[in-house]
Structure 1
Amino acid sequence: MLSLLGIIAIVIFAIHTFRSANSNGRNGGLWAFISVAVGIALQWVVPLVASMVIAIFYIASGSNIDTIEQDIMWPAVVISFAGLGLSFLGMWLVLRHVSQIPDEEPLTASGPPPPPVFGDSLSFRAEEPHEVAPRPKPEGADLPPNRD
């Protein structure tokens, strides 16, 4: 029953993490994977390793190997509930981090303008100063006017 609740929690947190990450411009698949990994690690891997360490400690302290399962029953239950609680906490922290809107990068707002592109257009802009080539004068333009 406890691990069924844990599986349901992992699936629900993964779906919400995926949606929150995508809506905030993050990689949804990666963050959902991180949420699932945190859930599995804190729900099954850490309690399994902790239970094995306790079992080895009981055997090393001189307990009977035949009764080891009964001896560590209550510590294993406590470890399972602690793992489930830590799993909820870890997945919630991942979801909380993903739900925050990332800050704008200041590099996009400042910086030098892009370099000019040459050869695209031969037209000049109105705000750019440019020299006009002198026109040749028509024939007879430098003669004085005829005043008859």
Structure 2
Amino acid sequence: MADCALKNQLTEAMKDAMRAKDKARLGTIRLALAEVKKVEVDERIEPDDARVLSLLEKMIKQRKESIRQYEAAGRTDLADTEQAEIDVLQTFMPAALSKQEVDAIITQAMADTDAKTMQDMGKVMAAVKPQVAGRADMAAISQTIKSRLSNA
């Protein structure tokens, strides 16, 4: 069985939240662990750190979308709850990359894949994604690559 440090970190954080009687944090961590458990049961695998990270990214993305919808409906109370959950989930994510670091990774990937046209977009994204997983917004990276390839 694969040893998953991120899953263990979530479990320890859940225990700490229980001891501190921090219900909001505890609930969010339990949701994250439930997602991990769902993958374990459905796919009969022990998810590695990369998979757990992608699950956390997905949960954060869902909450950002919910915030947008709640704010449009004037429900700031619900939006604040979702933001609090995002804040908890962010504590388990790796440190974000700076704009300069992302630009350097994109530049290197474009050089490595010899990307010149929009047809090379997939190759560049495939080269960039493993390096920035969980540390940068993939939508923003996609836009940057598109603009560089269309200007080339």
Tell me the TM-score normalised to structure 1 length: 0.28
Higher relative contact order (CA 8 A, sep 6+): 1
Higher-Rg structure is 1
Structure 1 or 2: more helix by fraction: 2
